[in-house]
Amino acid sequence: MKPMHEETATFATAAPMTPIFCRVLKTRPETHDTFTMEFEPPEGAHAFAFAPGQFNMLYAFGVGEVPISISGDPDDPQTLIHTIREVGAVTHALRAMKSGDLAGVRGPFGTSWPIEEAAGRDVVIVAGGIGLAPLRPAIYSILSHRENYGRVVLLYGTRNPDDILFRKELEGWRARLDLSVHVTVDRALETWRGSVGVVTTIIPRARFENSNALVMICGPEAMMRFTILELQNRGVGLDQIYVSAERNMKCAIGLCGHCQMGSEFICKDGPVFRFDRVQRFLEIREI
């Protein structure tokens, strides 16, 4: 598989602090507080090349800028897709945008999921809540080159069934014979027939080879911490685990220090890290 970093580097570094104008194609709701936006490529460009796990800075003019992971298909970069949770002024402004409105986009930035390193191995993807969005490009990429991997397992946890992202897509993935999908919710409604319990409780049920699996995790830090403990109980090594870290990113190019975590800048050295590289920092509450 061709690494995307070289292609994306020019776009990201040519004028990394200057947003380009992108027109909103459409916005659709995913859950009560989450929505997906599609953008046209900027004028003069025909595609947004990116690697799974990378993010863009999205700018709602006059309001502010936020880092948002790309949730689209890296093999289909004609449309830029972001799935966003509405939690503050900027994401509120983004949600209010209509088709044809202009937003600013800087990126793509950061490191990517280890798709190439996963070749030949079992792949375990563990997502919590909105954490499925940054992992979706990795899932697309793995599924479009499915023959390169061993067992592929997706473990997804949310608060309740209404919070499940990409529901139709999940149903499609679940129907595949070459992908094992486990979805669980913390709180079930009476009509829910699926699994109930936090995502860590479904790890023992998943079938994969502990010694050769490569694990990608994205979700709230507490969820990732307990997930890693459960994986360790199974015998998965810390060097087999990758996480997507989150801190307050501003410049996105490792200059401002807002997202600094110990010696690492989440925006430039991350957001995807091999866990053993950042474990010590995640244990320090002050950072």
- Which stretches of the chain bind another protein, using CB under 8 A? 33, 85-88, 128-130, 157-159, 163, 184, 186-188, 190, 192-198, 200-202, 204-205, 219-220, 222-223, 226
Report the nearest approach of another protein to the CB of residue 80 (Å): 23
Distances (CA, A) of 90 to 39, 260, 265, 283: 17, 22, 23, 30
Report the nearest approach of another protein to the CB of residue 107 (Å): 22
Of 33 and 101, CB closest to another protein = 33
Three state DSSP letters for the chain: CCCCHHHHHHHHHHCCCCCEEEEEEEEEECCCCEEEEEECCCCCCCCCCCCCCCEEEEEECCCEEEEEEECCCCCCCCCEEEEEECCCHHHHHHHHCCCCCEEEEEEEECCCCCCCCCCCCCEEEEEEHHHHHHHHHHHHHHHHCHHHCCCEEEEEEECCHHHCCCHHHHHHHHHCCCCEEEEEECCCCCCCCCEECCHHHHCCCCCCCCCCCEEEEECCHHHHHHHHHHHHHHCCCHHHEEEECCCCCCCCCCCCCCCEECCEEHHHHCCEEEHHHHHHHHCCCCC
Report the nearest approach of another protein to the CB of residue 202 (Å): 8
In the block, residue with structure tokens 């954490």: 131
Is the CB of residue 220 less than 8 Å from the CB of residue 226?
Answer: no
Report the nearest approach of another protein to the CB of residue 195 (Å): 5
Name the amino acid, one letter, at 145: H
Name the amino acid, one letter, at 176: R
Of 41 and 161, CB closest to another protein = 161
Of 12 and 185, CB closest to another protein = 185
Report the nearest approach of another protein to the CB of residue 192 (Å): 7
Of 4 and 125, CB closest to another protein = 125
Of 69 and 141, CB closest to another protein = 69
Of 1 and 229, CB closest to another protein = 229
Report the nearest approach of another protein to the CB of residue 86 (Å): 8
Report the nearest approach of another protein to the CB of residue 197 (Å): 5
Of 174 and 187, CB closest to another protein = 187
